[in-house]
Amino acid sequence: MPEDVKARKYVQWRRDFQDPSPGQSSKAVLALARVKGKIWAGTGSGISVLERGTWKPRTRRGSPSGPVDFIYNFRDQVIASDGQLHICSGGTWSTPDEPASALRADVDADGRLWLVAEDGLWTYDGTDWKSVKRMGRMGIGFRDFKCLPDGTAVAATDRGLFFLQGKRLYWFHVRKKLEGLLSNDTRAAVPDGSGNLWVATDCGISIYSGGNGWCSITGKERLPYEDVKTLEISPWGEYWMGTDSGVVLLRNGRWKYFASKRWLPDDRVNLVLPTREGEAWVATPEGISHIQSKPMSLEEKASIYGENTAKYHNRMGFVTKRSLSVQGDISSGRVNISDNDGLWTGLYIAAEAFRYAVTGEREARTRARDSLKALIWLEEITGIPGFPARAIRGRNDPGFGNGHPEWHPTDDGRWEWKGDTSSDEIDGHFFGGTIYHDLVATKDEKSRISKFLGRMADHMIDNGFYLVDVHGEPTTWGVWAPEKLNHDDRWRMQRGLNSLEILSYLVTAHHVTGKKRYIDEYLKLAIDEHYAINTVKQRQTVFGQQVWHDDRLAYLAYYPLLLYEEDPSLRQIYLLSLERTWRQIRGQRNSLWNIITSAVSGEPHDLEAAADTLGDYPLDLIHWTVKNSHRSDVELDPERSNTAMEPLPADERPVHEWAGNLHQLDGGTNGMSAMDGTWYLLPYWMGRYHGLTL
pLDDT at 693: 72
**Contact of 551 with 581, CB cutoff 8 Å:** yes
pLDDT at 255: 98
**Topology given in CATH for the domain delimited by 299-625+668-689:** Glycosyltransferase (1.50.10)
Please state, in angstroms and as integers, the Cα–Cα distance from residue 185 to each residue in 103, 188, 249, 381, following that order. Answer: 17, 10, 21, 68
**Contact of 146 with 191, CB cutoff 8 Å:** yes
**Contact of 653 with 628, CB cutoff 8 Å:** yes
Please state, in angstroms and as integers, the Cα–Cα distance from residue 102 to each residue in 70, 81, 117, 121, 137, following that order. Answer: 7, 6, 5, 10, 17
The domain segmentation of the chain, as residue ranges, is: 28-109+124-137, 299-625+668-689
The three-class DSSP label of residue 543 is: coil
pLDDT at 658: 84
Please state, in angstroms and as integers, the Cα–Cα distance from residue 571 to each residue in 482, 500, 540, 553, following that order. Answer: 21, 12, 21, 19
Which of 644, 658, 674, 547 lies closest to 595, judged by CA?
658
pLDDT at 3: 45
Residue 664 CA to residue 657 CA, distance in Å, equals 12
Residue 135 CA to residue 225 CA, distance in Å, equals 33
Residue 84 CA to residue 388 CA, distance in Å, equals 73
Q: For each successive 10 residues of the chain (694 residues), what is the average pLDDT?
A: 64 96 88 95 94 90 91 94 93 90 92 91 93 75 92 94 82 92 97 95 96 94 98 96 98 97 98 97 98 96 98 98 97 96 98 98 98 98 98 96 94 96 97 98 98 98 97 96 97 96 98 98 98 96 76 97 97 98 94 98 96 95 97 93 94 90 94 97 98 82
pLDDT at 548: 85
Which of 34, 20, 74 lies closest to 272, judged by CA?
34
pLDDT tens string 81-109: 999 999 999 889 999 988 988 999 999 99
Which burial class, exposed, middle or buried, applies to 405 when counting CB atoms under 10 A from its CB (0-12, 13-18, 19+)? exposed
pLDDT at 59: 84
Quick check: pTM over 0.75? yes
pLDDT tens string 581-607: 999 999 999 999 999 999 999 999 999
